[in-house]
Amino acid sequence: MLDLWGSFSTDLGVDLGTDHTRICLRDEGIVLDEPTAAAVDLRQGKILALGREARQMLGRTPEGIQVVRPLQNGVIADFDLTRRMLKGFLRQALGKRPLFRPRLVLSVPCGVNSVERRAVLDAAMEAGAGEAYLLEAPLAAALGAGIPVRETKSCLVVDMGAGATEAAVLTQGKIAVSRLLRQGGRSLDEALVQYSRKKYNLLIGSLQAEQVKIEIGTVRDTVPPAYMDLRGRDLITGLPRSVTIDQNQLQEALWEPVHRMVDCVRNLLEQLPDLLARDVAERGIVLTGGGALLRNFDWLLERETGLRVWVAENALTCGVKGIGIAAGNMNLFRKGPRPRRNV
């Protein structure tokens, strides 16, 4: 039987992340990289802006308009908004190219339940996909990092996203053992917001916390430390105020969520069967995702596990590149479960 989708459809890899949505078009690479956010008119329910434009409005919206992040901790929290947002992103990525509905491969955290997986598939189909398939995020990240996942010898990948941290041992192209922590980069941002509130009585926003984390965030004592200003509202006087924070204070602020991530990896290592443990001891740990870029996290994890740890090249985009590789090999999916399909 002639496969019309395979012959004429456009194949896309979609990294539907808590913080960013990235779309990879087969043979063209990444064609969309936008914040996972939408500005919504609360009275009419209309989407006023998507992606970067919506994110710039965060904390600056007039009454009646709200900036919503429809994914939380790696899964869909607002289905209808996710569907409409994804539809808009697909339109941006594809332009006027497709005559047929596109085939999508979407990443999901490895530990989510069947309801959460179904929500991603349903959102993709209602956004306009012809077929939709799911791929576990650590496997996608490993593919994008160039790790030979089909080898018998196993490897350990820790994918550190904005909403979730996933540790997974891969062997023969599949996940053998995994652990999911529903906390990621956003937990670090929130920790800094709370630190500023408790230590300085200063209320700052999540975007500023993220910027400080990116520019001077570290998990190791630094001499001399870098400094950066925090600007916000004084909780006592109600007036605008700024304070200066250094890297070592930031390390204190991030200590608790960072060590929860380390514990996630340690818990997985403690449960490994002998042969998998031997492979991981030999090959070490690969870090992917935006959280892997936190200064000295690789050093901390190496100290806490005793294993060699390194950050994948282009760690931030490993996930979407891996999904793009999968989208270019749809025949691999056809050997597995039947896809969701629009007719």
Q: Check whether 15 has a pLDDT greater than 50.
A: yes
Q: Check whether 8 has a pLDDT greater than 60.
A: no
pLDDT tens per residue, range 151-170: 889 999 999 999 999 999 99
| Predicted pLDDT at 339 | 56
As a whole number of angstroms, the distance between CA 127 and CA 10 comes to 15
Pair (238, 93) in one structural domain: no
| Predicted pLDDT at 335 | 46
Confidence band (pLDDT; 50, 70, 90) for 2? very low
Output DSSP code: residue 58.
T
**Residue 20 dihedral angles phi and psi, to the nearest 5°:** -135, 145
Pair (168, 270) in one structural domain: yes
Pair (157, 98) in one structural domain: no
Pair (307, 159) in one structural domain: yes
Task: Examine residue 50 and state whether it is found in any structural domain, yes or no.
Answer: no
pLDDT tens per residue, range 165-189: 999 999 999 999 999 999 999 999 9
| Predicted pLDDT at 95 | 81
214 burial class (0-12, 13-18, 19+ CB within 10 angstroms)? middle
Pair (169, 267) in one structural domain: yes
Confirm if 258 and 297 have CB atoms less than 8 A apart: yes
| Predicted pLDDT at 336 | 45
% of the chain with per-residue pLDDT over 70: 93
Pair (179, 189) in one structural domain: no
Whichever domain contains 9, its CATH number is: 3.30.420.40
Per the structure, the count of domains in the chain is 3
| Predicted pLDDT at 175 | 95
Whichever domain contains 231, its CATH number is: 3.90.640.10
Pair (156, 288) in one structural domain: yes
Which among 230, 254, 278 is the end of a domain? Answer: 254
| Predicted pLDDT at 287 | 98
Over the chain, what is the mean pLDDT? 92
Task: Examine residue 170 and state whether it is found in any structural domain, yes or no.
Answer: yes
Confidence band (pLDDT; 50, 70, 90) for 97? low
| Predicted pLDDT at 223 | 87
**Residue 149 dihedral angles phi and psi, to the nearest 5°:** -70, -15
pLDDT tens per residue, range 295-342: 999 999 999 999 999 999 999 999 999 999 999 887 655 444 445 666
Task: Examine residue 51 and state whether it is found in any structural domain, yes or no.
Answer: no
Pair (305, 323) in one structural domain: no
Confirm if 315 and 289 have CB atoms less than 8 A apart: yes
| Predicted pLDDT at 1 | 41
pLDDT tens per residue, range 212-221: 999 999 999 9
pLDDT tens per residue, range 68-92: 999 999 999 999 999 999 999 999 9
Q: Check whether 43 has a pLDDT greater than 50.
A: yes
As a whole number of angstroms, the distance between CA 209 and CA 191 comes to 9
pLDDT tens per residue, range 98-142: 567 899 999 999 989 999 999 999 999 999 999 999 999 999 999
Q: Check whether 4 has a pLDDT greater than 70.
A: no
Render 81-130 in DSSP notation, one character per residue. HHHHHHHHHHHHHHTT--SSPPEEEEEE-TT--HHHHHHHHHHHHHTT-S
Q: What tokens does 83 get?
A: 């569907």
| Predicted pLDDT at 6 | 53
pLDDT tens per residue, range 217-254: 999 998 899 999 999 999 999 999 999 999 999 999 99
Pair (104, 232) in one structural domain: no
Domain with 283, as residue range(s), is 152-183+259-312
- Average of pLDDT values for 5-25? 86
